[in-house]
Structure 1
Amino acid sequence: MSDQATAAGTVKSADRVLLVFELLSSWDRDMSHTEIAEALQIPKSSLTQLLKNLVSRKWLAYEPQGKTYALGPAFTRLAKQAGLARDLVTVSGPVLTELTAKTLESSALNLLRGDIVEVACTVMGPQRLVSHLKLGDAAPLYATSGAKAILAHLTKDIQDDYIRRISFESRTPSTIKTAGALRKNLAKIVAQGFAYSYEEWTPGIIGVAKPILDEAMRPVGAVNLAIPAVRFNPDAAKLFEAALTSAVDAIRRQIALA
């Protein structure tokens, strides 16, 4: 088969998937294999495997008693995910304000953007010596506390793929430099529930973060504090962890993740 024919076939298959989605979303009842084939004028033999694939990936739900199909739970997740980032930013503003008031340190909401995390909302601490977290600041997943909090709770397959692809940049002498060290650190984060970055991205700044997990324990973001190293000590760490836990719990409740 020529490259042109392959490309055409791929586009045709994708088009059929979209047609099935559009058809089922416009009806107010489930549809049978025959009804879908007739409505879309797709041969039943071609439609059978397509429907099986979509059911296996949970894009469609199959009801065996009536032998009918409907949009599946993957659609619900996708729709929820589409609005989740916006909701997180909206909800996090007041929560971060309270978090910074409790701790007197700069705080931020971190969201996953491919192989990096990005600061999507931030409140600067009131003290003279502070860490300046800016909207849009980005960092690799192995370096900052918010980034590592998210990476630690991604699936093993995603973690493995990420670690295979990256090249470690030694931003500071403390930056993690090997896959083995990163894996060990991620395991510690999962066990403790908090991620730390000890001057690994910015000299003189210690970060501590807690992930925001959804109902399936997948990370949808992380909240972090950025503390000048001169103000960091074990007693302060306990305060920071308690304040972060309260902040994350408040965010999860307000966007119905709890």
Structure 2
Amino acid sequence: MDDDSLAGKQPESVAAVLKTFGLLQALGDRSESGISDLSMRLAMPKATVYRFLQTMITLGYVRQEADSERYALTMKVYELGTKALQYPELVDLAKNHMQTLADKTGETVHLGTLIDSEIIYLHKVDSSHALGMYSRIGRRAPLHCTAIGKVLMAWDTPEHRDHVLQGAEFKPFRQTTIADRQAYEQELKQVKAQGFGEDREEFEDHVRCVGVPIFDRLNRPVAGMSISFPIFRYDPARAQEVVALLRDASRDISARLGCTQFPLDEEATSH
């Protein structure tokens, strides 16, 4: 059931909430949208869209571009979103490490966490090279074919992992994508055994990623950090060197989140 049909069966105040969040979601999916576009996408009258947008502008959550008469979200929405993080300090703790990793490798570094049955990028430091990537802060990506998704699932509890994967769509993005849950769970065992996750051109052509988890005080994986390489700059012989850099960064971030026994160290000594 879509928001519009749901709104039609609700009291007016509830319908207004549904319309408000529908507009926020639509603006988040496609920045700088016009009233006609929003009206068509949300099946709402233009006058209603206009009225709601004006209220959201007054509250500071939406801005209007003077030159194009299009609407977009403001940083106030981002500020609100950061407060929803389980660990609001996570990005601040990670960003200097991520910059260092980007400087040392010359490649793109991502920080991501779980949202529903996907990951969401919390922070990104771009490569010093010209490399267009799908990602941006706030964008979602799949669990089954990203290094961050794999490490979040590999170190998760079996119960929570089962719950999350029930909602995951094992879409075959590329020929190399693991598109079967049973095969994916075998991959997670390998990820945990080796101490890092890999994306072997499973999500984007010609891009490989290596990632590790970040842990909280209860040794739960609360985020993942990865480095992405275009295939022509990826050297398998340097993989362990890259993993060591990621592990060192994760160890410090995890410690600052209260983790006292870093799981990746324990697993490294057991192999």
TM-score of the two chains, using structure 1 as the length reference: 0.64
Cα gap change, 1:108/1:167 in structure 2, threshold over 3 Å: closer, same or farther? closer
2: CA distance, partners of 1:141 / 1:132: 15
1: CA distance, partners of 2:85 / 2:130: 37
Tell me, yes or no, if structure 1 residue 145 matches structure 2 residue 147. Answer: yes
1: CA distance, partners of 2:159 / 2:193: 19
TM-score of the two chains, using structure 2 as the length reference: 0.61
RMSD (CA atoms): 1.9
Residue 254 of structure 1: how far off its partner (Å)? 2.8
> 2:54 maps to which residue?
none
2: CA distance, partners of 1:255 / 1:83: 13
Of structures 1 and 2, the larger Rg is shown by: 1
**Structure 1 moving runs of 4+ over 6 Å:** none
2: CA distance, partners of 1:95 / 1:206: 20
Amino acid at match of 1:232: Y
Q: Do the aligned partners of 2:114 and 2:120 also contact (CA within 8 Å) in 1?
A: yes
Higher mean alpha-carbon deviation, 201-210 vs 167-176, is at 167-176
1: CA distance, partners of 2:116 / 2:217: 22
2: CA distance, partners of 1:130 / 1:165: 29
Aligned length: 178
Tell me, yes or no, if structure 1 residue 194 matches structure 2 residue 196. Answer: yes
Spell out the pairing of 1:164-175 with structure 2 (5 A cutoff). 164-175=166-177
Q: Do the aligned partners of 2:209 and 2:228 also contact (CA within 8 Å) in 1?
A: yes
Tell me, yes or no, if structure 1 residue 184 matches structure 2 residue 191. Answer: no
2: CA distance, partners of 1:119 / 1:162: 17
Q: Do the aligned partners of 2:116 and 2:164 also contact (CA within 8 Å) in 1?
A: no
2: CA distance, partners of 1:178 / 1:156: 18
Spell out the pairing of 1:57-72 with structure 2 (5 A cutoff). none
1: CA distance, partners of 2:140 / 2:211: 15
2: CA distance, partners of 1:175 / 1:187: 17
1: CA distance, partners of 2:131 / 2:165: 35
Tell me, yes or no, if structure 1 residue 203 matches structure 2 residue 195. Answer: no
2: CA distance, partners of 1:132 / 1:223: 16
> 1:99 maps to which residue?
101
Structure ranking higher on relative contact order (CA contacts 8 Å, 6+ apart):
1
Give structure 1 stretches of 5+ with no counterpart: 1-80
Amino acid at match of 1:205: V
